[in-house]
Copies of this chain bind each other. A is one copy, B any other.
């Protein structure tokens, strides 16, 4: 785990010495710094050469843009690096696959402090090492604004990938953990005054959920322990739990009924933001948990094996529209779901 740094470690007050900028060391100097974070055997060629994985190959890509997905106010460079890797690893977890390698495209203004880049790489390295993924290459280029584009490769046993379209009537809907914490952490970073009266430990919990999300790759060995045939519908909840529920039901052509009271909420969220907790759990996004649709026996096994997971509802029938009903008769709306544009 990493020390919590709600603001960037750069001290930009006039008294502090100015941080050195990329423009002072140029591309060659920057590459020398960056190559410390890549395995030496793959550095320096136009591409990395790897042994192919056992099983099927899983490929995902995810982009983080300054001012959209992060800012110096909410996300220090180390956390930007961590989150950019975590977002990709969460996509691999959502397919039931184990990570192999990462490559990264990085856009930076020449006025970027060198320490920002170093911290970014340290954050990427910390997250990728924790889940056994190696950063094997990338492309650095000048850009008017900062962005990080990561592609992750994983491996899955043939025919056992988790897919959105695989939910079927009779399935239980399981979430791997609590929702809404990342949104609450963002609120505390953007509006620290909202934290008045909230204990420091709870604030830290929620901010950490936003800055240092943990991809649920712990489900992969559990799934691998279940004998064939295995059919699992699902996806990650990075765009919000409500969005994930609707996406899975639409992709599978099924309807579901959800009990909102069974959605796991952390004690920190309920104490800090009791009024907003449920809305943020459904629509906040960026929790990087998983929503899975499983046969009841498989669901029970997973619930046993994975502390903190919960069954929040079930698939009740076929429905081309993919309607998600709530206990009590309402229909779950996508209304508040995060829209990228």
Binding site for B on A (CB under 8 A): 22-23, 26-28, 30, 44-53, 55-63, 65, 67-69, 90-92, 94-95, 97, 101, 103-108, 110, 136-145, 147, 149, 151-156, 161, 163-165, 235-236, 251, 339-341
Q: Cβ of A163: which chain B residues have Cβ within 8 Å of it? A: 45
Complex Cα spacing A69 to B104, Å: 18
Q: Cβ of A95: which chain B residues have Cβ within 8 Å of it? A: 45-47, 49
Using A27-B341, A47-B92, A95-B45 as known contacts, say yes or no to A56 and B61 having CB atoms under 8 A apart.
no
Query: Which of A55, A107, A152, A235: most chain B Cβ within 10 A?
Result: A107
Contact of A50 among B47, B57, B149, B340 (CB under 8 A): B57
**CB-based contact A50/B61 at 8 Å:** no
Using A49-B56, A57-B50, A58-B47 as known contacts, say yes or no to A63 and B139 having CB atoms under 8 A apart.
yes
User: How far is the CB of A27 from the nearest CB of chain B, in Å?
Assistant: 5
User: How far is the CB of A231 from the nearest CB of chain B, in Å?
Assistant: 14
Known contacts A27-B341, A69-B141, then 10 further A-B pairs from the complex at CB < 8 Å, ordered by chain A residue: A46-B90, A46-B92, A46-B236, A47-B60, A57-B57, A57-B153, A61-B149, A105-B105, A105-B149, A151-B151
Contact of A61 among B55, B62, B138, B161 (CB under 8 A): B138
Which residue of chain B is the closest to A58 with respect to CB atoms?
Answer: B47
30 inter-chain pairs at a CB distance below 8 angstroms, sorted by A residue, are A27-B339, A30-B341, A45-B94, A45-B235, A46-B90, A47-B58, A47-B60, A47-B91, A47-B154, A48-B58, A48-B60, A49-B57, A49-B58, A49-B95, A49-B156, A49-B161, A50-B57, A51-B57, A52-B53, A52-B55, A53-B57, A59-B153, A60-B103, A61-B139, A63-B105, A63-B149, A65-B107, A65-B142, A65-B144, A107-B147
User: How far is the CB of A107 from the nearest CB of chain B, in Å?
Assistant: 6
Q: Cβ of A144: which chain B residues have Cβ within 8 Å of it? A: 65, 67, 144-145
**CB-based contact A94/B47 at 8 Å:** yes
Q: Cβ of A68: which chain B residues have Cβ within 8 Å of it? A: 141-143
**CB-based contact B50/A59 at 8 Å:** yes
Q: Cβ of A22: which chain B residues have Cβ within 8 Å of it? A: 341
User: How far is the CB of A108 from the nearest CB of chain B, in Å?
Assistant: 8
User: How far is the CB of A293 from the nearest CB of chain B, in Å?
Assistant: 13
Q: Cβ of A52: which chain B residues have Cβ within 8 Å of it? A: 52-53, 55-57, 155
Q: Cβ of A27: which chain B residues have Cβ within 8 Å of it? A: 339-341
**CB-based contact A101/B45 at 8 Å:** no
Which residue of chain B is the closest to A63 with respect to CB atoms?
Answer: B105
**CB-based contact B164/A45 at 8 Å:** yes
Complex Cα spacing A154 to B48, Å: 10
Q: Cβ of A149: which chain B residues have Cβ within 8 Å of it? A: 61, 63, 105, 139, 147, 149
Which residue of chain B is the closest to A60 with respect to CB atoms?
Answer: B47
Contact of A137 among B30, B59, B339 (CB under 8 A): B59
Q: Cβ of A235: which chain B residues have Cβ within 8 Å of it? A: 45-46
Q: Cβ of A56: which chain B residues have Cβ within 8 Å of it? A: 49-52
Q: Cβ of A53: which chain B residues have Cβ within 8 Å of it? A: 52, 57
Complex Cα spacing A45 to B231, Å: 15
Complex Cα spacing A49 to B46, Å: 25
